Amino acid sequence: MTKTRVIRKHSRILKATRSESELAPIHELLYNASVSRSPATSERLRERGLNVTAPRLAVLAVVEELGGHVDAGAIAAAARDRLGSVSTPAVYDILNALTDAGLLRRIQPAGSPARYETRVGDNHHHLVCRTCGAVEDVECVVGSAPCLHASVHTAFPIDEAEITFWGQCERCRGI
Ligand SMILES: [Zn+2]
Ligand SMILES: [Zn+2]
Ligand SMILES: [Zn+2]
């Protein structure tokens, strides 16, 4: 579960009685507890047929902790903080392996570097801000892929319709 989701889930319950500054440490505790309860990262690598290595564990953990949709540069920097040293090409190789194994999802909105997220296995889509590049998840209204069907019938089996909604985020509109 991403940090944002953990926080969102518990905020509703806690907000009624506490101020924002009182909530921050509670959020941190809840987040750490939820991470330690989730199946061990090494187990998830093994299940997908990947050898467990410290750099792979670190990369998966930082994508989870950073949350949302993060680019390889930010992931490499965070992985280096954790491991001491790991080269950027090595991080790219790991991101590819984790994506191929279905542990990460890669999206690449036009004009943006590839971004990675841990929300896999559903058919969600994305809202992208034209101005700052912020990315938000949006649920698929149909639920399963492909949720749009091509107008031509071919012998080409289509298994995905990639949908990106473009607009301007609230921050860029000054709201
Ligand atoms: Zn924006
Ligand atoms: Zn997403
Ligand atoms: Zn859809």
Q: Give, for 129, the enclosing helix (H) or strand (E).
A: strand 125-129
SS3 of 115, please?
strand
Q: Which ligand is nearest to the CA of 166?
A: 1
Gap from CA of 163 to ligand 1 centroid (Å): 19
Gap from CA of 115 to ligand 3 centroid (Å): 19
Q: How does DSSP assign 135-170, residue by residue?
A: EEEE--SS-SS--S--SS--S--------EEEE--T
Give tens-digit pLDDT for 122-172. Answer: 999 999 999 999 999 999 999 899 999 888 877 888 999 999 999 999 999
SS3 of 125, please?
strand
pLDDT value for 38: 47
Gap from CA of 156 to ligand 2 centroid (Å): 26
Give tens-digit pLDDT for 118-135. Answer: 999 899 999 999 999 999
Residue 105 vs residue 36, higher pLDDT: 105
pLDDT value for 34: 45
Domains by residue range for the chain, with CATH: 1-35 (no CATH), 39-119 (1.10.10.10), 122-173 (3.30.1490.190)
